A and B are shown apart, each in its own frame.
Chain A
Amino acid sequence: MTLAETPAQAPPEEPRPAAPGRGRAWARLAAGLIPPLILLGVWQLVAASGAYSTAQLPPPADVAAGLGELIERGELWRHIAISVQRVLLGYAAGAACGLALGALVGLSAPARALLAPTVQALRTVPSLAWVPLLLLWMGIGEAPKQTLVAIGAFFPVYTTTAAALAHVDPQLVELGRAYGLRGVGLLTKVLLPAAAPSVVNGLRLGLAQGWLFLVAAELIASSMGLGFVLIDSQNTGRTDLMLLAIALLALLGKTSDAALGLLERRVVRGRT
């Protein structure tokens, strides 16, 4: 039985995140750092040109000094820690609900008919519109902030999970059924693995939106956190701290997204 066939030619190399040489990975990382550095340079030039007052656009050195000041006062870690905590707790709750409801709506046509329109309608509510209600119901503690983050994380996770499970290749589902898979077996062996890449992508989107909603929550009612630093610096005319808060939010958002990006890579690896 010599059925020598050559394997199909691998598809043309796409910009694949997985497993190119270590050197290339570093090169890509370095390339990604070029625009921020250019931005920093332009910022320095513009600030030095005198076109704006330092109250409007402090030079990078002032922002670095502001960073040192916050570290010295011991406030920086407090702000970062509370913001990260709000995002993680809120995100965990929101993503869990998104996965559960998304799975229900994705897998069950009756549940989809019943729930999908309502959830879609709620999804269109802008983040800030929730804030007064949450404050009214939950006071001004941690609960309303975490809840708002949860709301933000929920929708992308819900939407992608529901869509991914509802659109699993029907041929694979039929194959699974023909080989005796039903219920939990079909779910764990066909539906979930097939939907996994989209679901993980949804988890990433949800995290990004969680950060977005965090700032909305902290801008309005808080005495700590990076959003508070933003609004407080506006009130006190500390533009350097304002820019610092923005840079820190970008950094934290990017870091948490990269962590989930690693997970996504693991899930997708080997499929293409």
Chain B
Amino acid sequence: MPASLDRSAAAPAAVSLHGLRRVFGARTVLGGIDLQIEAGQIIALVGPSGCGKSTVLRLLAGLDRPTSGTVLIDGRPVDGIDPRCAVVFQEPRLMPWRTLARNVALGLPPGTPRAEGRAEVLRWLELVGLADFADHRPRQVSGGMAQRAALARALVRRPGVLLLDEPFAALDALTRLRMQDLLDDLQRREGTTVVLVTHDVDEAVQLADRIVLLRPADDGSGAVVGADLQVPAARPRDRADPSLVPLRADLLARLGVPRRAAALDTERVR
């Protein structure tokens, strides 16, 4: 019985948001978000700081409840903490008293038989490249390794939707690129639906099948979907892929970072 549960949980799930609003006191953060996410895709949610990206993610995970509107995962509403989701936060949030293996084991779906659970933990530690560090404590490993353990903890849950809240933002630049490639590999292998919140346009362009830009309304009525863009190239992508350049420039311009070349030209004219 748990085995069949596991298998159903492992299938990538479709997500839909309908008129999602979230108001904190006098401040409207989300002003009615509508979004359909196909199963098995990576969706990047990008937007300026404080625009409500993380709020969307918390509503998806059931960590927060919408003021109005609904979140559906495979057609069933999210009501409280949802076992079909697994979250990775910006911080690894590992339990410092547990080894990496025991931390990953925390993500196992409830009712997993012991032996199967141990095998799964080892398999995921291997997949994220931490097989040799299973017995290390979180304080003994680097930030990147800790975040890989956090990723393994989420994936061992075999979630229908993997929710990533700026998961690589606190890592150094090179580690971040390696983590992006790792996530790309793992997602293509497992087919998990991924919602990736990021403020890193390069990261979104590199990883996402689709990029959704949240835009805060000028009148303070909360963020709405400002753009919904398909990423043209197939994954895995080369970081220097020229077909991605216009998309990157477009996104940056929408986020208030216009192309520099034009600015330089006007300066030269002066």
Contact = CB atoms under 8 A, between A and B. Distances in A.
The list of the 3 closest CB pairs from A to B, nearest first, reads: A3-B129, A175-B93, A8-B142
Residue picked from A1, A174, A175, most chain B C-beta under 10 Å? A175
A179 B107 contact: yes
9 contacts: A7-B133, A7-B142, A8-B143, A171-B89, A174-B93, A175-B89, A179-B153, A182-B81, A194-B95
A7 B140 contact: yes
Contacts of A179: 86, 106-107, 153, 157
B interface SS class: loop
The size bracket of the interface on A is: 20 to 34
Interface of A: 1-3, 5-8, 10-11, 171-172, 174-180, 182, 189-190, 193-194, 196, 270-272
B97 A172 contact: no
B63 interface: yes
A47 to B, nearest CB: 51
Given A1-B128, A178-B61, A193-B95, 6 more contacts: A3-B182, A5-B145, A7-B141, A172-B93, A179-B106, A193-B98
Contacts of B185: 1
Contacts of A172: 93, 95
Provide the main secondary structure of the chain A interface.
Answer: loop
Nearest to A10: B140
Nearest to A178: B87
A84 B140 CA distance: 42
A177 B63 contact: yes
A95 to B, nearest CB: 22
A272 B95 CA distance: 12
Contacts of A271: 96-97, 137, 139
Nearest to B103: A175
B98 to A, nearest CB: 8
Contacts of A171: 89, 91, 93
Given A193-B97, A196-B97, A178 B110 contact: no
Contact of B63 (A7, A174, A189): A174
Nearest to B109: A180
A8 B96 CA distance: 15
Contacts of B63: 174, 177-178
B237 interface: no
B106 A189 contact: yes
B175 interface: yes
Contact of B110 (A3, A175, A180): A180
A172 B141 CA distance: 18
B178 interface: yes
Among B63, B95, B107, B142, the one with the most A-chain Cβ atoms within 10 Å of its Cβ is B95
B144 interface: yes
Nearest to B126: A1
Contacts of A270: 97, 137
Contacts of A189: 95, 106
A178 B165 CA distance: 13
B182 A1 contact: yes
Given A7-B145, A10-B140, A180-B83, A1 B127 contact: yes
B141 A8 contact: yes
A174 B87 CA distance: 10
Contacts of B142: 5-8
Residue with the greatest number of chain B CB neighbours at <10 A, chosen from A7, A11, A272: A7
Interface in B116-152: 127-129, 133, 136-137, 139-145, 148
